């Protein structure tokens, strides 16, 4: 890999941020979003090459339906409590162009548990790590296209209703939701904990 390419990859990582002020006017064609998702699902690594991750992309009215379901379920959970902040957040997600739903297929995980009993208790953990890699890869690639996104976790609250609405397979477990759209307002400044407190280097000659 050339230094220029490496710098470009590193810049893409650095530029990825949580964008909450999103709109529905995408800077790219929807097919370019789908191209990113297909590339991510094909080329993101997974433990034991399990390929257990699944992704559902919803646009337009289906995207609106997703956040209508979410609002209804959160209202139900809140009950008589103050719903103002939750309403504002969900309205922000609803204003986006679409949402990527990240799933893990339990049938794949269970099959690996049966094949490799020694590691059976680890496969659910590795599946979550696999999903995390897919989320980060998709997020970074969307950012490189100039598409803003953020990551949400309304599961398992919305799982059943979303599965029914979008005909999602029973073995797919919802892990995260990523609304995406044009960037209405960029992310603010980000603070960083000291690298020295987070990275330990051992055995490197000076």
CATH number at residue 168: 3.40.109.10
Can you give the pLDDT at residue 117? 97
Q: What is the mean pLDDT of residues 100-113?
A: 98
Please choose, from the candidates 151, 153, 158, the residue with its C-alpha nearest in 3D space to the C-alpha of residue 73. Answer: 158
Q: Are 21 and 182 in contact (CB under 8 A)?
A: no
Q: What is the mean pLDDT of residues 49-76?
A: 97
Structural domain containing residue 146: 21-184
Mean pLDDT of the chain: 95
Domain presence at residue 45 = yes
Can you give the pLDDT at residue 81? 87
Q: How sure is the predictor about 163, in pLDDT bands with cuts at 50, 70 and 90?
A: very high
Domain presence at residue 88 = yes
Domain presence at residue 201 = no
Please choose, from the candidates 118, 186, 117, 115, the residue with its C-alpha nearest in 3D space to the C-alpha of residue 150. Answer: 186
Cα separation of 92 and 19, whole Å? Answer: 10
Domain presence at residue 75 = yes
Question: Token pair for residue 127?
Answer: 């599946």
Domain presence at residue 3 = no
Pairing of strands 148-149, 172-185: antiparallel
Q: Tell me the per-residue pLDDT of 121-133, one tens digit each, with 9 for 90 and over.
A: 999 999 999 999 9
Can you give the pLDDT at residue 9? 87
Domain presence at residue 96 = yes
> Among the residues of 79-122, which ranges form H helices?
84-94, 106-115
Q: What percent of the chain has pLDDT over 70?
A: 96
Cα separation of 179 and 184, whole Å? Answer: 13
- For residue 71, is pLDDT > 90? yes
Tell me, yes or no, if the pTM score tops 0.85: yes
Residues 6+ apart with CB under 8 A from 204: none
Domain presence at residue 189 = no
Q: What percent of the chain has pLDDT over 90?
A: 93
Q: List C-alpha distances in Å: 192 to 11, 17, 136, 151, 195.
A: 17, 13, 19, 19, 8
CB atoms within 10 A of CB 35: 14
Domain presence at residue 37 = yes
- For residue 1, is pLDDT > 70? no
- For residue 3, is pLDDT > 80? no
Q: Are 148 and 166 in contact (CB under 8 A)?
A: no
Q: Tell me the per-residue pLDDT of 26-59, one tens digit each, with 9 for 90 and over.
A: 999 999 999 999 999 999 999 999 999 999 999 9
| Total structural domains within the chain | 1
- For residue 164, is pLDDT > 80? yes
């Amino acid at each position: 890999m050339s230094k220029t390419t490496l710098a470009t990859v590193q810049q893409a990582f650095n530029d990825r941020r949580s964008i909450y002020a999103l709109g529905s006017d995408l800077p790219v064609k929807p097919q370019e979003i789908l191209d990113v998702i297909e590339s991510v699902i094909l080329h993101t690594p997974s433990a034991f090459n399990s390929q257990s991750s699944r992704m559902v992309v919803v646009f337009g009215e289906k995207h609106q339906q997703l956040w209508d379901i979410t609002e209804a379920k959160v209202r139900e959970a809140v009950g008589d409590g103050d719903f103002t902040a939750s309403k504002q957040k969900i309205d922000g997600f609803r204003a986006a162009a679409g949402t990527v739903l990240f799933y893990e297929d339990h049938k794949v995980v269970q099959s690996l548990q049966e094949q490799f009993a020694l590691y059976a208790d680890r496969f659910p953990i590795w599946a979550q790590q696999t999903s995390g890699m897919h989320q980060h890869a998709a997020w970074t690639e969307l950012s490189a296209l100039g598409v803003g996104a953020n990551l949400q976790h309304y599961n398992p609250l919305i799982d059943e209703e979303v599965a029914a609405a979008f005909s999602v397979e029973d073995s797919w477990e919802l892990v995260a939701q990523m609304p995406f759209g044009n960037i209405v307002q960029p992310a603010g400044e980000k603070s960083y904990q000291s690298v020295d407190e987070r990275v330990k280097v051992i055995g490197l000659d000076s």
